[in-house]
Structure 1
Amino acid sequence: MQIEDFNEIARLTIPDYELRMKAYQLKQLDRQYEIHLQAWATVMAGQTRKGKPIFRTFDKFFDYRKAEEKILGRQKRTTLDKEKLQNWIANFNS
């Protein structure tokens, strides 16, 4: 739902604005998913490495859940992030 009345925009609370922005981001994510799905079909139709598909599954090509979790603020730290943090702490302490 698009707001076109400036008075209504002025009455938006911060939580309402944040919710609308999150909804917009999720809508954009769905569009990205569709674009990537079409690209995936195109890639799978002809691209291979040594006779095997480069991406064996669609999730390796486009991780929808990871992108969604990032938008929703539920992204988990990866092992690499933990290693970077540990290295930073070790360098900071020395």
Structure 2
Amino acid sequence: MQIEDFNEIARLTIPDYELRMKAYQLKQLDRQYEIHLQAWATVMAGQTRKGKPIFRTFDKFFDYRKAEEKILGRQKRTSPDKEKLQNWIANFNS
């Protein structure tokens, strides 16, 4: 759901923003999955190395769970963007 009202955007809290961003990223992940699945079907239909498929399983070709864990924060990563956003909001509000 897109927000087009600037008043509603102004009332958006950081947790709400983060939740919306996570939902958007998961939606993009599903799109990537579909693209990779189509590519996988194409690969399986014709790509071989010495008569054997290059990727033996779809998970070797595209690790959906690993990408999902990264988005959901279950995989350790740094988030300088979150800190920048919080600093910007603090400066904006003062």
The reply to whether TM is greater than 0.5 is: yes
Q: Taking structure 1 as reference, are residues 9 and 39 closer, same or farther at Cα in structure 2, changes over 3 Å only?
A: same
Instruction: Give a deviation string over 1:13-46, Cα, whole Å, max 9, x none.
Output: 0000000000000000000000000000011110
Bigger drift between 9-18 and 68-77 goes to 68-77
- Larger Cα Rg: Structure 1 or Structure 2? 1
Matched residues, percent identical?
A: 98
Deviates more, 1:42-51 or 1:71-80: 71-80
Q: How many residues align?
A: 94
Provide closer, same or farther for how the CA distance between residues 4 and 78 of structure 1 changes in structure 2, counting only shifts above 3 A.
closer
Q: Deviations over 1:32-90 (max 9, x none)?
A: 00000000001111000110000011000000000000111112699999999999999
2:61 is equivalent to residue 61 of structure 1: yes
- Runs of 4+ off more than 4 Å: 76-94
**2 CA distance for matches of 1:14 and 1:92?**
13
Greater displacement, 75-84 / 12-21: 75-84
Distance 2:33 2:74 in 1: 19
TM-score, normalization by structure 2: 0.79
What is the RMSD of the two structures over their aligned residues, measured on CA atoms?
10.4
Distance 2:15 2:57 in 1: 38
Instruction: Decide whether aligned partners of structure 1 residues 85 and 31 sit closer, same or farther in structure 2, where only a CA change above 3 A counts.
Output: closer
User: What is the TM-score when the length of structure 1 is the normalising length?
Assistant: 0.79
